[in-house]
Amino acid sequence: MSMGYVYDPIYLKHDTGKHVENAQRLVAVMTRLEESGLKQQLACIKPRAATAEEIALVHSPYLIARIEAMAKKGGGRLDADTVMSADSYQVALYAAGGLVRAVEVVLDGGGSVFALVRPPGHHATSTQAMGFCLFNNVAIAARYALSKYKLERIAIIDFDVHHGNGTQDIFYDEPRVLYISTHESPLYPGTGSMEETGSGDGEGTTINIPLPAGSSDTEYLEAFEQVVVPAVRRFAPQLILVSAGYDPHWSERLAMMEVSVTGFARMAGVIKGLADELCDGRLVFALEGGYSLDALAASVRATFDVLLGNTGIEDPLGQPEPGFRVHEFEPPDITPLIEQVKRLHNLP
């Protein structure tokens, strides 16, 4: 299998009402894949529910019990941002299990998989659900790969507009996992400074690239070429996992970045190139953020096109029109930031 996707209608049953993270996100994505003809080119991988033991690879018994109990009561709010319904615990098991299945498929048979799951996961710590996230899907998949497949090196690349504080926290002292995050700063949840580099045996395996508001395709590609590529090459992972958040898109109202669909495609191309070069193409994308439905659907489609090797990338939204935002950003100069990150991590 060269390219597959994980999806199941169960992901629509995580009912968040009018919350920005809602079922229409996946409806929009699946509709775009169907209409474009891409869906027919992909292998569909059915998820399964993660087992209690698999969830416990990452999360505390307290958190697991709290989420299950909230669902049994019919749902509610775990915090001001994070909503549950009666089905959300079961759906969260399938979201984590979807990532586990993706890892199994890739490590057993090669190729790449995009897990189109919800709820997202990268904010969930071992003990706390937050930021729309219940369980940390990517972290569970990484721990599963380390445990079952005895991998020695996994790279996680996170390009969501928000810092993946949960993933960082879970692997902060883990030398077998390289975590790299590009994110808008300052922004929720307030973590992800470049000085956060890991601890103990994991010192140096956390790399944060906190980008200023207004960063566009140019700045993101500079960060990828100058930091992500050399850092991942040096680490030489056996598997690459991606927390794919499409909320840096210029049309998003929850952030202030200026990335286009074309920019996401170029980032996906860089990541695919690293996977092909370093780990025989073993690559798993996991959906995280992205709340502007047209931008999300177009960006996911473009990512699939890149992973399939299609050369014609469609960007129906293009670049932002002048005056799109009340505050117009001058193109930021991120060279000093990039140089500082490189010095902190001894990158060429």
What is the chain's length?
348
CB neighbours of residue 230 within 10 Å = 15
Report how many helices (DSSP H) and strands (DSSP E) the chain contains, helices first: 11, 10
Only one residue has tokens 């909320």, namely 247
- The DSSP 8-state label assigned to residue 212 in this structure reads P
Helices (H), 51-87: 52-55, 61-72
Q: Can the peptide bond before residue 186 be classed as cis, meaning omega within 30 degrees of 0?
A: yes
Give the neighbor-by-neighbor strand order of the sheet with 177-184.
Answer: 43-45, 3-6, 112-115, 283-287, 239-244, 154-158, 177-184, 206-211
Taking CB atoms within 8 Å and a gap of at least 24, the contacts of 39-45 are 41/3, 41/308, 42/3, 42/4, 42/5, 42/304, 42/308, 43/1, 43/3, 43/4, 43/5, 44/4, 44/5, 44/7, 45/4, 45/5, 45/6, 45/101, 45/102, 45/105, 45/113
Q: Is the dihedral of CA 320, 322, 324, 330 positive or negative?
A: positive
Give CA separation, 77 vs 11, 134, 145, 282, 291, in Å: 18, 11, 32, 37, 20
Residue whose C-alpha is closest to residue 260's, from 284, 304, 294: 294
- The end-to-end CA distance of the chain, in Å, is 36
Q: Which of 107, 88, 67 is nearest to 14 (CA)?
A: 88
75-77 vs 83-85, strand pairing mode: antiparallel
List, by residue number, the catalytic residues.
Answer: 123
> Would you call the peptide bond into 332 cis, given omega within 30 degrees of 0 as the criterion?
no
